[in-house]
Amino acid sequence: MARPDPFRLPDQRRTLRTAQDLVAAAVVPSDRAEAIAAVAARYAVAITPTLADLIDRADPDDPIARQFVPDPRELDVRAEERPDPIGDHAHSPVDGLVHRYPDRVLLKLVHVCAVYCRFCFRREMVGPGGDAMSAEQLDAAIAYIAARPQIWEVILTGGDPLVLAPRRLAEAMARLAAIPHVKIVRIHTRLPVADPARITPALIGALKHEGVTTYIALHANHPRELTHDVRAACARIVDAGIPMLSQTVLLKGVNDDVATLATLMRGFVECRIKPYYLHHADLAPGTAHLRTSVAEGQELMRALRGRVSGLAQPTYVLDIPGGYGKVPIGPAYWQSSDDEQVTDPDGRVHTYPPDGGA
């Protein structure tokens, strides 16, 4: 008997892109179509069949739907929100490249994604009609990297770089691998979650080049996203010798409780994905309904510390608006004073060293 394919054939159903698509798929009721269409006219919409299947139509607060289904509140832009919340433009010396930290750069190969998150911090810059970098732009970016020996790591982002054809990815990887001082290429993606069947041997092969080490950072926010097919896609990547990290955005009504976060982080570890960052949601326009407070995030991290293995602990980070960089903002455990004190995961305060040396 023939052995089964290591991955399923691509889903032939269409990606949901309009209010009419969402109504037809029973993702939203027909009486919301007009309001949803108004949001879709402003921000990109795309929900792959894989993710549409995960949405619980009977749950009005379904955490998968909250991430991907347009919400009329997205048109309510607050004063503190901004089109470029983390300051990409302030650190972009050439088109498509961001150089915020000395030893690494972001390279935005493409401006489209397989799926559009409703909290995306680049929502003003990505979407249908957003082309890949032109040959001239890529040449300029590669020349910039090659001329600066301090650049050790290149982070491919966008958009989602894995939506490119394997041939295009292989060409970009080969050019980066040819730069002697570039040792790490990190790829930020949602594709294994959005469309796991597209993680093919050809795609994985395009990401491996002699001279550089490739890492893949997977974006997932809820444990239901780690389906059997998603886990199999990640296994194909890891089995090929490409290590994986996770990125998660802390979102109200999606993962802002310790049980959900713990299950998600354990799920990553089970998939051989190291939990890396838990991002505080950025000040992207129209996303206030999805943001928690920093204090809430810190309490969640304190609870997580007392509940799950060290293998399953991400770093809670804030990207300071204006382009000032990413910093850890987790809870503090150490207090320096006349009597040095440390707080345990349950909030109890202890003197260190203990009285009497016990």
Which residues are designated catalytic? 100-101, 104, 113, 117, 120, 122, 282, 319, 326
Please give the Cα distance from 351 to 335 (Å, whole number).
Answer: 10
Please give the Cα distance from 163 to 159 (Å, whole number).
Answer: 9
CA angle 118, 254, 64 (to 5 degrees): 60
Nearest to 105 by CA among 5, 176, 19, 48: 176
- The string over 32-60, giving b where at least 16 C-beta atoms fall within 10 Å of a residue's C-beta and e elsewhere, is bbebbbebbeebbbbbbbbbbebbeeeee
For CA atoms 204, 207, 208, 214, the dihedral sign is negative
- Phi, psi values for residue 148, rounded to 5°: -125, 95
Nearest to 189 by CA among 201, 177, 199: 199
Nearest to 189 by CA among 228, 162, 169: 162
DSSP run (H or E) holding 144: helix 135-146
